[in-house]
Amino acid sequence: MKKSYCILVLVFLWGCNTVDYTEEVAVVSKIVIQGYIEEGDVSHVILSTSIPIGSTVDTLSILKHVILLAKVTVSDGSNSEVLSLRFDKNWIPPLVYIGKDLVGKSGKTYSLKVEYEGRVIESSTTIPTSVPIRELNYVKDNPSDTTGYVFVKFDDPVGEKNQYQILTKVDKKEAVFVPAFYGNLNDDNFSSSAVNFQINRGVLLFSGTKFKPYFTDGDFIFVKLRTMDKAAFDFWNDYQNEVVNGVNPIFPANTSLKSNIVGGVGIWAGYGVSVVSLQTP
């Protein structure tokens, strides 16, 4: 349940070079970081080199761009640890740098340092206070339907600035949490502090099944509500816009996603989290 990142974002990031590839040219690959530390969990970081636009992108070609020999360090200002590279079949690619002892705490700032082939890539993030999910409901248009949508209810703290992301995972059907379609939320757009939001299932690349925005009778669903800082929100908002507007859901249509990585591209984000499960009838 703690494996939160879906594989889509990696493919978007790998397509961030905007060089004209009408003729093959030699370019220096950027280092791509997809990393996070959630409240109550250790750090997770996937490292790769960027894939130029026009290259073949599939589960096999992705493995050629994975970075295996980097030194990845995370620090909270007082304590630090070097992450270990581990195999995890639930990810694509299935190789993740994972922490052991340094667990995310609300309000703390965490710095990331990646050292690879003489290059140093850095970033920092702060874990915001989590906002608890108050209620989940499974709603159908007609009682005879076998599919429906989940609505999540939570209370946006009054007088605070918050950005949210909603993710879902269907037990035995999905191995990781997937960002919901239109699941990036800015509380500037809320008409009330009492939020009631319809969840549309997100897009998962290489899933082997047809995309469906709804849920099905009998699904056991986990819903995760994450709070995040503005840098993470801007990154995921760009990602969300590409999913919504892009004809090809693999590469960004015109621009690179916003990044908070110094010396590379990607995202290093801290998240406050609330997770609630729901068994549909």
What confidence category does residue 7 fall into, taking pLDDT thresholds of 50, 70 and 90? very low
Is residue 280 in a domain?
Answer: no
Query: Do residues 228 and 269 touch, judged by C-beta distance below 8 A?
Result: yes
Domain holding 33, by residue range, is: 8-127+230-271
* 272 membership: H or E segment, kind and range: strand 265-279
* CB half-sphere exposure, 178, CA atoms < 13 A: 25
Q: Could you tell me which of 205, 34, 56 has the C-alpha nearest to residue 121? A: 34
Kindly state the average pLDDT of the residues 104-131.
Answer: 97
Is residue 100 in a domain?
Answer: yes
DSSP 105-160: -TT-EEEEEEEETTEEEEEEEEPPPP--EEEEEEE-SSTT-SEEEEEEEEEPPTT-
Is residue 1 in a domain?
Answer: no
How far is residue 141 CA from its own chain's centroid?
30
Chain segment 149-187, per-residue pLDDT in tens = 999 999 999 999 999 999 999 999 888 899 998 999 999
Sort 249 into a burial class: Cβ within 10 Å, 0-12 / 13-18 / 19+. Answer: middle
Total domains in the fold of the chain:
2
State residue 92's pLDDT score. 73
- Do 68 and 181 belong together in one domain? no
State residue 208's pLDDT score. 58
Distance CA 85, CA 98 (A): 6
Helix, strand or coil, per DSSP, at residue 61: helix
Q: What is the pTM of this model?
A: 0.84
Per the prediction, the chain carries an average pLDDT of 85
Is residue 277 in a domain?
Answer: no
Q: What is the CA radius of gyration of the chain?
A: 19
Chain segment 249-272, per-residue pLDDT in tens = 444 444 578 999 999 999 999 999
